[in-house]
Chain A
Amino acid sequence: MLESLLAGVEVALRVDTFVWISGGLLLGMLMGALPGFTTSMGMSVLVPISFLVGDPLIGIPFLIGVYKGGIYGGSVPAILISMPGTGASIATVFDGHELTKQGKSRKALEMSLFASAISDFFSDIFTLVMIIPVAAVVLGFGPPEIAAVMFLSLVVIAVTATGPVIKGLIMLGLGVWVGFVGADPFSAMARYTFGTAELYDGFHLIPMLIGLFALPEIFNAVKEGDTPGARVASFVGERLRMAEFRKSIRTIVRSTVLGSSIGIVPGLGQPIAAMMGYIAAKNSSSHPETYGKGELDGVAGAEAANNAVNGPTMVPLLTLGIPGDAVTALLLGAFMMQGLRPGPTLLSSSGDIVFGILIAMVLANALFVVIGYLTIPFFARVVTIKKSLLIPVTIMLAFAGTYLARANPFDIVTLIGFGLIGIAAREAKFDVAPMVMGFILGRELEYTFGQTLALAGDNWVRFALTERLGMTAVLVATPIIGILLGRRMHRFRVRALERERIEAA
């Protein structure tokens, strides 16, 4: 493992890799900075580019750049026009926009950039450190353990879904069912294909994701139309002083730790991390009353926490093939299109590439600060760009990207079909992320469960209790973890609701 780490350093230090990361960061920040254009949408229209370049060491770091840039970029409209660019920056609005009202938008934007980049850097190091022992443990996992972990992940995603649990469950179930379409993995019998050749392989992940994430947002943007230019964004006030930054170091460290631990658990994601980071900063402050009234530390708490999620989501993704959120689901698709199947054996079979990607991810943070700092004034203006200029470009990217990926006309049908599902779900206030998780994890669960049955033979009780204690332990722990996490999420939701009510009052 150490050898491939060293080999990874070598492969990561390539000029073209850094050029592409920079491009990814810029595009990601742009996508994040555009209000109403989320990171998952930006990623989904850019994923095809990553495999058109062919080389995984260019394509994947490019997408990681988009991911990082997008999560940070979302803070720009949050601060300037009180409109989170992505779900991750909901908590940045509280203090960030207050600072803008006080004419201190520059301070807020710079704090957001530095907090994001620093937490990103340390969480990426944490990822590199964590992935080696996790991969070592996971390497001992056979199909039974993986099946149990998949089941656990489904439960975690169900209880932590945003919005009502029942809606999350419905979407999760729908995703699992959609995953059944196509030939079954063991006997190659066709299921739900209606005799068509196109459905025999099942739905392809990439057009499905672009349809579910990009099209509804485009539709929404069209529906809303251009927002009147009354809310003028600006980049004004003094720059961030060192003393002010130093005061927030504790908060950044706390949020980095929080965000990293949230990132390693699939299904929680940046919005939760940002809220928790913000609440934790406020609770441990000596002057909690200033939060929500333009406190720089609040911006740091939220922004450090959401960016710290990015790196650690790669741990379950790469070692088990479990994507933590919509964006990592897209990364999973990108890995697979490059012929790299995330799972227990990925690190031993393609260790140099994986470590190359992870190291490029760490080094990307240096570019992050530089590019971010130079482009703040630009993105501050992008916030007010006319949507009517952007929507056609995005539509073009979504359709062309889908088709170019495999040159398969049926992918366009898939794109439009899932686009309609996504639009309907959005109108009915259903989150599509659990559906994607259900789709990916359901197929994996089916396969590993089938393998487990083949391994177990007839006497599966003895198999579970004597040969596979690991699997049994995970299965026993699943309801406990589910209930505890569910309660916690419930309390958290209640608290967030109260906040909103107080704020509204």
Chain B
Amino acid sequence: MISIWRGVILSTALLLPAIALSVVEAQERFPNKPITLITPYAAGGSSDLTARVFTTYLRKYLGQPMLIRLVPGQAGQKGTLEATQAAPDGYTLVYTDNYRDQLHRFTFRIDKYDTNQDLVSVARINYGEIGVIVRADGPYQTWADIENAARANPSQIKLSHSGLWAALFVPAQHMMQIMGLQFRMVPYRGGGPAKAALMAGDVDFSMAFPATIAADIEAGLVRVLATAGPERIMEGVPSFVEIGLPPTTGYMHRVVMGPRGIPEERLAILRRAIAELQSDEAYLATMRSLGENTEYLDGLDYEKVRLEQQREYRELIESIAGQ
């Protein structure tokens, strides 16, 4: 009996310093456990897709896995709120976009958080250019067809979107504002269901990021009528500038942010890991195969972009309110 106790005490005495040492060491290194990336989007959309790709390859540069946690709901407010309330220890980050970050402050009464004060950019992963899409077997061949139809029948042409003031809604709002049109806006839970509604013939047109509909275009089911930006990104498809929209309309920046207050050295580690990812051939190839660009921007630079966006969205909302 005594010998058992002696053994227990002896082994404890030997183990304790070892445990203590490993704890100290573990505390020093960041990250020493998986990082959670809150993605406030529905499964299967372009944000979910790109998040899955970059988190897979980022593991190599972080030394720890980055786990995606889907928290869709309330136009992203649910997930964003969760991120702003998380401890600023670098282990909880959020995948967000310019609309959630800068536009929603004007469109929703958000009093639970202020993204400018609560969130800091880690890095922009890439951006998406929205496109106007119709069914390939439908009556609309060009953007002008839709524009004319909408002018002839105000509030009759139906558009499926992914939720109030989200990625498909904002460009449509810009169009209505600038072109003086009125569409009938039908909400769906995310880009996937919005596309399904178009395919089922429930609505006349929709919007989508070309990357998410590459397969449908190839199968000849969907036609793209225009894409965002000043330049053409698809052959034979006019750009938004050509159809009379400003060059910034319809850009969605996909950004990793974290609660403000993450220690500088941890933020630097996170930013460096994503910067290193940009020279990973496998990552670049996978993004390319999805039709996604890899226009990365460091967090420090993106912080400046945020301010410009805020000004632009304030103007948009004021002009809508002014009508």
Task: Tell me the bound Cα distance from A187 to B108 in angstroms.
Answer: 8
Does A104 reach chain B (CB closer than 8 Å)? no
Are B73 and A451 touching (Cβ within 8 A)? Answer: no
Contacts of B202 in A (CB 8 A): 142-143, 455
Closest B residue, CB atoms, query A349 = B44
Are A345 and B192 touching (Cβ within 8 A)? Answer: yes
Are A201 and B78 touching (Cβ within 8 A)? Answer: yes
Task: Tell me the bound Cα distance from A481 to B287 in angstroms.
Answer: 51
Are B164 and A345 touching (Cβ within 8 A)? Answer: no
Least Cβ distance of B130 to chain A in Å? 20
Does B74 reach chain A (CB closer than 8 Å)? yes
Contacts of B24 in A (CB 8 A): none
Least Cβ distance of A246 to chain B in Å? 48
Task: Tell me the bound Cα distance from A10 to B59 in angstroms.
Answer: 27
Does A200 reach chain B (CB closer than 8 Å)? yes
Question: Which residues 272-289 of B sit at the A interface, judged by CB distance below 8 A?
Answer: none
Known A-B contacts A454-B184, A455-B202; the reply to A188 vs B43 at CB < 8 A is no
Are B164 and A188 touching (Cβ within 8 A)? Answer: yes
Interface stretch, picked from B193-201, B256-264, B315-323, is B193-201
Question: Which residues 1-17 of B sit at the A interface, judged by CB distance below 8 A?
Answer: none
Are B189 and A188 touching (Cβ within 8 A)? Answer: no
Does A228 reach chain B (CB closer than 8 Å)? no
Interface stretch, picked from A129-137, A205-213, A336-344, is A336-344
Does A229 reach chain B (CB closer than 8 Å)? no
Contacts of B158 in A (CB 8 A): 455
Task: Tell me the bound Cα distance from A343 to B190 in angstroms.
Answer: 13
Least Cβ distance of A78 to chain B in Å? 41
Are A349 and B192 touching (Cβ within 8 A)? Answer: yes
Does B134 reach chain A (CB closer than 8 Å)? no
Are A142 and B42 touching (Cβ within 8 A)? Answer: no
Are B112 and A200 touching (Cβ within 8 A)? Answer: yes
Contacts of B200 in A (CB 8 A): 139-140, 142
Are B42 and A341 touching (Cβ within 8 A)? Answer: yes
Task: Tell me the bound Cα distance from A451 to B75 in angstroms.
Answer: 16
Question: Which residues 75-107 of B sit at the A interface, judged by CB distance below 8 A?
Answer: 75, 77-78, 81
Question: Which residues 191-222 of A sit at the B interface, judged by CB distance below 8 A?
Answer: 197, 200-201
Does A371 reach chain B (CB closer than 8 Å)? no
Does A164 reach chain B (CB closer than 8 Å)? no
Are B75 and A188 touching (Cβ within 8 A)? Answer: yes
Least Cβ distance of B40 to chain A in Å? 12
Task: Tell me the bound Cα distance from A139 to B195 in angstroms.
Answer: 12
Known A-B contacts A188-B108, A339-B70; the reply to A451 vs B188 at CB < 8 A is yes
Closest B residue, CB atoms, query A455 = B186
Does A350 reach chain B (CB closer than 8 Å)? yes
Contact partner of A454 (CB less than 8 A), chosen from B78, B186, B192, is B186
Task: Tell me the bound Cα distance from A343 to B184 in angstroms.
Answer: 24
Are B43 and A349 touching (Cβ within 8 A)? Answer: yes
Task: Tell me the bound Cα distance from A341 to B45 in angstroms.
Answer: 13
Are A451 and B43 touching (Cβ within 8 A)? Answer: no
Known A-B contacts A188-B108, A345-B196; the reply to A183 vs B42 at CB < 8 A is no
Task: Tell me the bound Cα distance from A443 to B271 in angstroms.
Answer: 41
Contacts of A139 in B (CB 8 A): 196, 200
Least Cβ distance of A59 to chain B in Å? 14
Does B148 reach chain A (CB closer than 8 Å)? no
**Chain A: interface size category:** 20 to 34
Does B185 reach chain A (CB closer than 8 Å)? yes
Contacts of B203 in A (CB 8 A): 455
Does B187 reach chain A (CB closer than 8 Å)? yes
Contacts of B67 in A (CB 8 A): 54
Contacts of B70 in A (CB 8 A): 339
Does B64 reach chain A (CB closer than 8 Å)? no
Task: Tell me the bound Cα distance from A142 to B108 in angstroms.
Answer: 28
Are A339 and B75 touching (Cβ within 8 A)? Answer: no
Task: Tell me the bound Cα distance from A450 to B156 in angstroms.
Answer: 17
Are A344 and B184 touching (Cβ within 8 A)? Answer: no
Least Cβ distance of B311 to chain A in Å? 24
Contact partner of B189 (CB less than 8 A), chosen from A200, A201, A341, is A341
Least Cβ distance of A464 to chain B in Å? 14
Closest B residue, CB atoms, query A348 = B196
Task: Tell me the bound Cα distance from A140 to B199 in angstroms.
Answer: 9
Are B187 and A186 touching (Cβ within 8 A)? Answer: yes
Contacts of B22 in A (CB 8 A): none
Closest B residue, CB atoms, query A195 = B111
Are B185 and A350 touching (Cβ within 8 A)? Answer: no
Task: Tell me the bound Cα distance from A130 to B245 in angstroms.
Answer: 49
Closest A residue, CB atoms, query B197 = A142
Least Cβ distance of B10 to chain A in Å? 34
Contacts of A350 in B (CB 8 A): 43-44
Task: Tell me the bound Cα distance from A54 to B68 in angstroms.
Answer: 10
Question: Which residues 27-77 of B sit at the A interface, judged by CB distance below 8 A?
Answer: 42-44, 48, 67, 70, 73-75, 77
Closest A residue, CB atoms, query B43 = A339
Does B155 reach chain A (CB closer than 8 Å)? yes
Are A197 and B43 touching (Cβ within 8 A)? Answer: no
Known A-B contacts A140-B200, A451-B186, A451-B188; the reply to A197 vs B193 at CB < 8 A is no
Least Cβ distance of B218 to chain A in Å? 16
Task: Tell me the bound Cα distance from A398 to B128 in angstroms.
Answer: 43
Contacts of B77 in A (CB 8 A): 183, 188, 200
Least Cβ distance of B215 to chain A in Å? 12
Question: Which residues 444-469 of A sit at the B interface, judged by CB distance below 8 A?
Answer: 447, 450-451, 454-455, 457
Closest B residue, CB atoms, query A140 = B200
Are A457 and B75 touching (Cβ within 8 A)? Answer: no
Are B184 and A457 touching (Cβ within 8 A)? Answer: yes
Closest B residue, CB atoms, query A454 = B186
Contact partner of A187 (CB less than 8 A), chosen from B155, B164, B184, is B164
Question: Which residues 111-152 of A sit at the B interface, judged by CB distance below 8 A?
Answer: 139-140, 142-143
Known A-B contacts A142-B200, A339-B43, A349-B192; the reply to A197 vs B187 at CB < 8 A is no
Known A-B contacts A197-B81, A454-B185, A457-B155; the reply to A186 vs B196 at CB < 8 A is no
Least Cβ distance of B196 to chain A in Å? 5
Closest B residue, CB atoms, query A450 = B187
Closest B residue, CB atoms, query A408 = B82
Are B74 and A200 touching (Cβ within 8 A)? Answer: yes
Complex A-B: 30 CB contacts under 8 Å: A142-B200, A143-B202, A183-B74, A183-B77, A185-B187, A186-B164, A187-B164, A188-B75, A188-B109, A188-B164, A200-B74, A200-B77, A201-B74, A201-B78, A339-B43, A339-B48, A341-B189, A349-B44, A349-B192, A350-B44, A450-B187, A451-B187, A454-B184, A454-B185, A454-B186, A454-B187, A455-B158, A455-B203, A457-B155, A457-B156
Q: Which 3 residue pairs are nearest across A and B when measured between Cβ atoms? A: A339-B70, A339-B43, A142-B202
A139-B196, A451-B186 known, 10 other contacts, Cβ within 8 Å: A54-B67, A188-B77, A200-B74, A339-B43, A339-B70, A344-B196, A345-B193, A451-B187, A457-B156, A457-B184
